A and B are shown apart, each in its own frame.
Chain A
Amino acid sequence: MRYMKIKNENIFKFLECLKSYGTLYAPKKISDKSYDFRKVEDVHEVVFNYDRTILPPRQFFYPPKESLFEFNKELVEMYEIFDNKGPVVLFGVHSCDIVGLRIMDSNFIDDEPDPYYQRRREQGIIIGISCLPDEYCFCNVRRTEFVDKGFDLYFSEVPDGYVIRVGSIKGHKLIDPHLNLFEEVSDKDIEELSLFDKKKKKMFTVEGNWDSLRYYLELKGKIPLWIRESEKCLGCGNCTITCPTCRCYDIRDYPNLDSITGIRVRTWDSCQFRSHGLVAGDHNFRETKESRFKNRYMCKNAYCKQVTTSYCVGCGRCTRFCPANINFKKNLMEINGDL
């Protein structure tokens, strides 16, 4: 892997350069407590030390609402439409979110790829950044606190700047035209890097790994936790909207006023909604709130073969943004026997 270093005084110049590769999005403080990926107008507004964004980065490749087709009812014809907003340069993505994107890739870019996602993803640029955990994070037990693929550049913090790992050809092409902004990595930087990693390791509130958790989830299908916690649940779907790996969608046809033409639209769906498992004849495969609640835990903790981790990446969003204060992390610890 190629390593470079950028000093703090050059970083805003580099962000300015990044704008020429596409629309630059980066974390920005949007309220007292919250950050979100926003389009960067002034590079000095970019926040480097943030806890988590509200919406995960998948929104840029798999938008919450998008038109797939224009249709004509009389001709029974569909015309593919693609809202091409050009390449997205995503700066400041945490390692858990990068793994989240790889999990999205494994689902959407398989032997029958989703063309909308694929086109956006292929032209996108992902620039990762190192971070320190807070009380909601558990990426270490999910093995996502470190990534070695899925990014073009990865910024690791050292006191006077960032050590950059170059993860793809696209990454090299971002570095090479601006070599005057970068320098070689010194021995002191390497020392600082390992100090940062040690400090990070100590900050986690959970230890070990949760590889065997999924078996306990299956075995403990009838423990009182399910009823206790699902009774608190409002079924709002916040946890799935903010999840970096949730990928369920719904497709609806919206006819125009001429009642002949119209558009076929895809929107994010949530397994916490009653309609998620509903089939014709009013049969519902997940009729109760408890079964929908459990379904999310099963889905998130199942094993994703392609990325060799669970579908949950431990970002802590579903706990942080739950209006009913359901603590996903704590519940998993209880199931795992850590409490």
Chain B
Amino acid sequence: MTIRKPQIIPDAKDNVYDTHKCRLLRVYHITEMDKLFLFRFEDQDKAANWQFKPGQFVEVSLPGIGEAPISICSSAMRKGFFELCIRKAGRVTTKIHELERGEIVGIRGPYGNGFPMEKFWDKDLLLVAAGLGMAPLRSVFLYALDNRWRFGNITIINSAKYCNELLFVRELEALRDIAEAENIKIVQTVTRDTNCTGLRGRADEHLEKVNVDPQNCGVALCGPPRMYKTMFEKLVALNYDPRNIFVTLERRMKCGVGKCGHCNLGNSTSWKYACKDGPVFDYYDIISTPGMLE
């Protein structure tokens, strides 16, 4: 038997699985497990023209290790670079944590639908994050700050189990000086930590602290599925318009383009992929699809 070598395709620009080189410009330590990475595309044209929407994600590709889907957490309005907040949790992310400034990774994307920011224009904004959920919501929050005139009052609730797991604490605390003048309410709370000076309790227990009008308010949630269930009940009870409630789901997204099937979500009338039809779904998508909140 002869071993045939597969042919190398020289011009493979249109391959959906092809990656683009990105240089790691800075690394910030956020918590013990999480780091914030600042990347820029090596290709100048790509850097200038690459765009994404808040809530979208990229596939970070380390040749020889694998790929991992990561939400973009910087503002969509700043061109040229993007930030990823990554928790050291698996094979690929452990390797990413070992990267040093100046090193190069492969990036493909952005993928997913992202939050419908245009729908939130001229409305108040309520952002509720639990744990690592702050990462994609930071992108929404920064977008709202960059387009402050488009939005009404803004409330952001950031929660975590323990004090040292709260993401972007200092960044949010630094905003407190201007928060009142800008009609921004910042609530940071921990659920389990007893040695913490700040607020305690789950995110949904602080819903009365908001400064938004339930009837005219865009809601973006990111956290574990269990939080969505309680938030949905409370938000609907508080008269929030369900059409404006959006959540982002986590699934195993291997390809990012709706092909590999790992992120499938069952619904009898349409078979959805979290990576392509999501990861952002609205309230009615969630309640009409069994198994989405598992």
By a beta-carbon cutoff of 8 Å, the part of chain A in contact with chain B is 67-73, 76-84, 107-108, 110, 112-115, 214-215, 217-218, 221, 247-253, 255, 259, 262, 264, 269, 271, 276-281, 285, 291, 295, 298-299, 301-305, 311
Contact = CB atoms under 8 A, between A and B. Distances in A.
Interface string B10-42: 001011111101000000000000000000000
B4 interface: yes
A278 B61 CA distance: 19
A115 B262 contact: no
Contacts of B262: 248, 269, 276-277
Nearest 5 Cβ contacts at the A-B interface: A248-B261, A80-B12, A280-B90, A71-B63, A298-B266
Given A215-B268, A281-B90, A251 B67 contact: yes
Given A269-B261, A278-B252, A302-B271, A264 B7 contact: no
Contacts of B17: 68-69
Interface of B: 4, 6-9, 12, 14-19, 21, 61, 63-68, 87, 89-90, 93, 104-106, 250-252, 254-255, 257-262, 264, 266-271, 290-291, 294
Contacts of B258: 107, 110, 112
19 contacts: A71-B63, A72-B63, A73-B64, A76-B104, A78-B19, A79-B12, A82-B7, A218-B290, A247-B259, A249-B255, A251-B254, A262-B64, A269-B260, A269-B262, A271-B264, A276-B262, A279-B90, A280-B90, A298-B266
A253 B64 contact: yes
Chief secondary structure at chain B's binding surface: loop
B4 A78 contact: no
A310 B124 CA distance: 42
A281 B33 CA distance: 12
A83 B21 contact: no
Given A70-B8, A84-B7, A251-B254, A302 B259 contact: no
A332 B206 CA distance: 47
Nearest to B14: A115
Contacts of A259: 64
A304 B15 contact: no
A303 B270 CA distance: 6
A270 B250 CA distance: 20
